[in-house]
Amino acid sequence: MKILSKSNLVPFLEGLGLEFKVNAPLYEGQDVLFGDLDSSKLATDFIGKPRLSPKEYSFPQRERLFTFKNNGGVEIEAHLNETKRVIWGIRPCDLYGLKFLDMVYLSDYVDPYYQARRSNTILLGLNCNKAEESCFCSSIGTGPFAREAFDLLFTDLGDVFLVEIGSKAGKKLIEKQANLFTNATSKDEKQAGILEEKSKKTFKTYIDLGKVEAKIAGASSSPVWAEEAAKCILCGGCNWVCPTCYCFNIEDVTSGDKTQRVRYWDSCQLGGFTQMAAMNSRATQAERLRQRIYHKFSYNPDKYGGEIGCTGCGRCIDVCPAGINIAYILRRVAN
Amino acid sequence: MKRVLTTCEFCGCGCNFYLGVEDGKVVAIYPSVSHPISQGRLCIKGWQGHEYIHSPERLTTPLIKKGNRFREASWDEAYELIVDKFNQIRTRYENDSIAVFSSAKCTNEENYLMQKFARACLGTNNVDHCARLCHASTVVGLATTFGSGAMTNSINEIAGAEVIFIIGSNTTEQHPLIGDRVLRAIEKGAKVIVADPRETQLAKLCSLYLMHKPGSDVALLNGMMNAIIAEGLEDKEFIAERTEGFESLKETVADYTPEKSSAITSVPEEKIVEAARIYSRSKKSIIIYSMGITQHTTGVDNVMTTANLAMLTGNVGKEFTGVDPLRGQNNVQGACDVGALPNVFSGYQAVTDEKLRNKFEKAWKVTLPPQPGLTLVEMLNSALEGSLRAMYIMGENPMVSDPDINHVEKSLKALDFLVVQDIFLTETATLADVVLPGVSFAEKDGTFTSTERRIQRVRKAIEPLGDSKPDWKIITELSSRLGYRMDYSSPAEIMDEIAKLTPIYGGVSYSRLESFGLQWPCPSPDHPGTPYLHKGSFTRGLGKFSPADYKTPAELPSHDYPFVLTTGRVGFHYHTGTMTRKDWALEREYPTGYVEVNSQDAKQLGIKNGQTAKVISRRGEISLSLKSVDTIAKGVVFIPFHFAEAAANKLTAANLDPVAKIPEYKVCAVRLEKG
């Protein structure tokens, strides 16, 4: 464990900037969003999470996959993004989100576009000392302090950050700017433990994951699906902000003699979802809502060795214009 | 990635988001969390509807028509041709032989310049825009009763209301972030009453749903007022202190017993009485309405009647009470505010008022015409009659959006010269002699004014595509070439001029708009803006009860045309679809039009769900897929108007409200046949 004084954070990140593209949470007005490092906007003391997770650095909202044109034969140019990138300030929920996406995109079938981005990205986490209203990572077990899936992990101890090393790549970053770091003491580590306990007490949203897991299979005919789905205004927001939603649509965009194949985030809440396979197999909004929850809490764990497809970040609660609340639904399922 | 905070270009909610820009392209959207309306949320159009910005179909160079085809042209060529033609027409005929359509999609600055161009450069008040087609009746009706034709509340007040009476608004689909506030109010225990000929999403979630006949709004509202007065539920103190004309209202509504109201509206008597009780018993009641109220030959009557109901119960002029017309387009409120209307300058200052006209003459250094100009539908009629010879249409697509498209087409074709300025070669642009490429909201600076009167910044995120130019720039260049110089270095400078000449915008400047804008009236630089209107007294002093009797719609069902057609939108598309239909996600949801028919009617017609139906009116016919539903009354059919290939407006009639001149999109007679 290392210590980095807060005044050394910007020099450290700017130092990384010599070798990497550095992304971090930034204040845009009063909003916090991940962006290209700008030390005048750097957000280190924000509570909760940036509106979107850093998922989009590996799986962008809109990604050009390749361009092709017909010039006698077919000429194809792939657009693999191999930018060397460090992302600082990733919350534990979002670290888990990336771990989950890695399972999806880098296991059975390796997605080359995702792999090109992800394998060139180093993840620097930032533990949460306080939860937002919608946060429920403590119920899922992904936070408020991270245990895995980071290269370095920062804990705000007040004047300094405690820095935990999670990988060789992370260690190397420290070694390159070793003069900025000092060794942590057991006192520092103890303080981090106290902060974690304190942080856990700040949560306002809870679910009983054990009960959810036990009961979800039998909850398919619960009235909760239709009741909640009746409010859905079909914005897709719950999918767009989700750190683990990985569904996409592919479109060909032709301009002149060139066609770009573009991949976009897609939403399972829309009627047109999976239309390329004829239709959305879930005919009603209630079934679509149920699918979203089942996918995360039943199908994903079945497929990925018990790993839940929900990070507990609560973004889908904040983003919903209809007030559809995943935690409320899960509590209904559990009971 | 660069991030640029801006205001959404679709509806009047006025949400803010960041455009994520990479390599000069908009590639991502981030809702603003701290914005008072968005609060980190958006609808599907806000999240997904911006693909059109980089569509290969964007116009990137001026076009001049040669024979039946367009050829690419330079700006100089295009301008010279327009100047020649406009000058010829102006020499041969009078100034009023040219008219301009301004645009509720464009910024305040552009609309201000467009009306200035019409008045100061062309010397005509022939300037109008699509507000004529959506809320002209609001502008007139609420100005008559309250003195100001705008939403009285702030959007966030809706979440704090105890009773929300929604009439003629499919709020969750058409104003999703206002729908958000209604849903939040319901969660907090508010009672919501929905009156609509279609059982909308909110109709299913509300406390009381009234399925009234299209066009029977005055009878319904008068029936409610009759019940309120009969049970002594009116606010006597408010009526005495804040209003005038109560006796005449009382007299008019006395005739509308629940029994009579029920007979006209098809709403059961007890529901009318219940609605009256729920609405009047709360002191935090808000009325929300939209096109269902305004788009009628009785549009002004409908609007005034909603205002009467609010005044009768004292539910206006205080927080969480009011009358809220929801403006459709992103900047339809602003386009009206800055004078893109034939009878008023910016700030609703009448062109017929000599003192006001003198003010503008002095500022603009030109003599201005004193007579109000033609309204939108009147312009088209005049074109067909021959008194109007040329038109300059910016960012509107009347060939899909206006009633009776066959008539629109004849009218536009009858013109000597047509200029269309747009970002796409729309159905209207294809009829033009010259097409000028404007830009999308992502390529320019400016302001939009949302439905809650919030003037907000639009910020340039990317460079104009190809040779296209910001619309404000095009207007200034054209005006200067026509001999009336317009020199502005930026939209901020245009806003400074607006502020100087427009009392309700008097305190507005770009520096003050940085943190999510200002709500007008904002008369001076130190004024904080106005969250809700008519506090203490109405803009006109006393609120004026303006009773109206029920009048039937202009075209009623008959033996040959037995169904009432009502038109509207779906949540996934916007107006004539020029933008939203370029987007894969939106287009995938609704790739084309459909006709919604009551399942019993469909059965009787022998047309199954998904089969093609031919819908025929006295003016035209279209073929489209039938959707059999139980959420619409028998005898009523609904068609969304977005789709040019199945254009609902081939069927609609240009029957106008006598005062507001708004067409009756919500009622015309049709018959259905197997297609």
Task: Encode A192-210 in three state secondary structure.
Answer: HHHHHHHHHCCCCCCCCHH
User: What pLDDT band is residue B354 in, cutting at 50, 70 and 90?
Assistant: very high
Environment class of residue B58 by beta-carbon count within 10 Å: exposed (0-12), middle (13-18) or buried (19+)? buried
Residue with the bigger pLDDT between A73 and B310: it is: B310
* Domain at B263, CATH number: 3.40.228.10
Subunit contact A30:B589, Cβ cutoff 8 A: no
Report, as an integer, the average pLDDT of B569-573: 95
Residue B554: inside a domain: no
Contacts of A253 in chain B (CB under 8 A): 56
Integer CA distances (angstroms), B241 to B153, B323, B530, B560, in order: 21, 19, 22, 52
- Nearest C-alpha in B relative to A320: B41
Report, as an integer, the average pLDDT of B662-670: 97
Q: What is the DSSP string of B371-388?
A: S----HHHHHHHHHHTS-
Residue B153 is which amino acid? Answer: N
How many structural domains comprise chain B?
4
Do B200 and B252 reside in the same domain of the chain? yes
d(CA B370, CA B375): 15
Whether A279 shows a pLDDT value over 90: the answer reads: no
Subunit contact A237:B184, Cβ cutoff 8 A: no
Do B317 and B337 reside in the same domain of the chain? no
Do B579 and B663 reside in the same domain of the chain? yes
Do B314 and B350 reside in the same domain of the chain? no
Report, as an integer, the average pLDDT of B331-351: 97
Contacts of A235 in chain B (CB under 8 A): 41-44, 46-47, 176
> What would the pLDDT profile of B363-418 be if each residue is shown by its tens digit?
999 999 999 999 999 999 999 999 999 999 999 999 999 999 999 999 999 999 99
d(CA B610, CA B60): 39
Subunit contact A234:B44, Cβ cutoff 8 A: yes
Which pLDDT belongs to residue B41? 97
φ, ψ for residue B595, nearest 5 deg: -115, 125
Contacts of A230 in chain B (CB under 8 A): 201, 204-205
Spatial CA neighbour of B334 closest among B449, B491, B505? B449
Which pLDDT belongs to residue B675? 86
Subunit contact A56:B28, Cβ cutoff 8 A: yes
Residue B366 is which amino acid? Answer: V
Report, as an integer, the average pLDDT of B639-647: 96
Question: Of all residues in chain B, what percent are helix, strand and coil, respectively (each to 5)?
Answer: 35, 20, 45
Q: Is any Cβ of chain B less than 8 angstroms from the Cβ of A256?
A: yes
Question: Rounded to an integer, what is the distance from CA B191 to the centroid of its chain?
Answer: 27
Subunit contact A249:B3, Cβ cutoff 8 A: no
Which pLDDT belongs to residue A30? 87
Give residues 57 to 96 of A whose Cβ lies within 8 Å of B: 60-62
Whether A281 shows a pLDDT value over 90: the answer reads: no
> What would the pLDDT profile of A80-102 be if each residue is shown by its tens digit?
999 999 999 999 999 999 999 99
Nearest-by-Cβ selection for B47 from A36, A51, A237: A237
Residue A193, C-beta contacts closer than 8 angstroms, at least 6 positions apart: none
Residue B446: inside a domain: yes
Residue B66, C-beta contacts closer than 8 angstroms, at least 6 positions apart: none
Do B350 and B315 reside in the same domain of the chain? no
Spatial CA neighbour of B223 closest among B163, B171, B167? B167
SS3 A247: coil
Contacts of B205 in chain A (CB under 8 A): 230-231
Contacts of A237 in chain B (CB under 8 A): 41-42, 47
Nearest-by-Cβ selection for A30 from B34, B46, B204: B34
Contacts of A52 in chain B (CB under 8 A): 30
Which pLDDT belongs to residue A256? 87
Rg for chain A, CA atoms, rounded: 21
- Nearest C-alpha in B relative to A61: B28
- CB B438 within 8 Å of CB B468: yes
State chain B's maximal CA–CA distance in angstroms: 71
Report, as an integer, the average pLDDT of B120-140: 96
Last residue of a domain, one of B310, B326, B342: B326
Residue A119, C-beta contacts closer than 8 angstroms, at least 6 positions apart: none
Last residue of a domain, one of B510, B537, B554: B510
Do B92 and B197 reside in the same domain of the chain? no
Nearest-by-Cβ selection for B589 from A35, A264, A271: A271
> What would the pLDDT profile of B479-531 be if each residue is shown by its tens digit?
999 999 999 999 999 999 999 999 999 999 999 999 899 999 999 999 999 99
Q: What percent of chain B lies above the pLDDT cut of 90?
A: 99
What residue spans define the domains of chain A? 2-200, 209-334
Subunit contact B48:A234, Cβ cutoff 8 A: no
**What's the mean pLDDT when you consider all of chain B?**
97
> What would the pLDDT profile of B241-280 be if each residue is shown by its tens digit?
999 999 999 999 999 999 999 999 999 999 999 999 999 9
Do B375 and B465 reside in the same domain of the chain? yes
Four-point Cα dihedral B275, B276, B280, B284, nearest 10: 30
d(CA B279, CA B75): 57
Report, as an integer, the average pLDDT of A164-175: 98
Domain that holds residue B579: 563-674
Residue B523: inside a domain: no
Which pLDDT belongs to residue A280? 85
* Domain at B46, CATH number: 2.20.25.90
User: What pLDDT band is residue A275 in, cutting at 50, 70 and 90?
Assistant: confident
Residue B546: inside a domain: no
Residue A294: its H or E element: helix A285-294
Q: Is any Cβ of chain B less than 8 angstroms from the Cβ of A320?
A: yes
Eight-state DSSP code of residue B219: H
- Token output for B401: 């959006």
Spatial CA neighbour of B398 closest among B650, B95, B67? B650
Residue B420: inside a domain: yes
Q: How far is A230 from chain B (nearest CA, A)?
A: 8
User: What pLDDT band is residue B473 in, cutting at 50, 70 and 90?
Assistant: very high
Four-point Cα dihedral A240, A242, A245, A246, nearest 10: 70
Do B277 and B365 reside in the same domain of the chain? no
Q: Is any Cβ of chain B less than 8 angstroms from the Cβ of A258?
A: no
Do B499 and B353 reside in the same domain of the chain? yes
Q: How far is A270 from chain B (nearest CA, A)?
A: 7
User: What's this model's pTM, rounded to 2 decimal places?
Assistant: 0.96
B98 has which bridge partners?
B390
> What would the pLDDT profile of B287-307 be if each residue is shown by its tens digit?
999 999 999 999 999 999 999
| Residue B423 CA neighbour count, 13 Å, CB half | 24
> What would the pLDDT profile of A215-238 be if each residue is shown by its tens digit?
999 999 999 999 999 999 999 999
Do B293 and B177 reside in the same domain of the chain? yes
Which pLDDT belongs to residue A108? 87
- CB A28 within 8 Å of CB B3: yes
User: What pLDDT band is residue A255 in, cutting at 50, 70 and 90?
Assistant: confident
Nearest-by-Cβ selection for B42 from A28, A29, A235: A235
Whether A252 shows a pLDDT value over 90: the answer reads: yes
Cis ω for the linkage preceding A144 (within 30 of 0): yes
Do B282 and B342 reside in the same domain of the chain? no
> What would the pLDDT profile of B93-126 be if each residue is shown by its tens digit?
999 999 999 999 999 999 999 999 999 999 999 9
Contacts of B44 in chain A (CB under 8 A): 234-236, 270
Residue B412 is which amino acid? Answer: L
Which pLDDT belongs to residue A73? 85
Residue B615: inside a domain: yes
Last residue of a domain, one of B303, B326, B349: B326
CB pairs under 8 A between A and B: 110
d(CA A94, CA A148): 11
Do B338 and B318 reside in the same domain of the chain? no
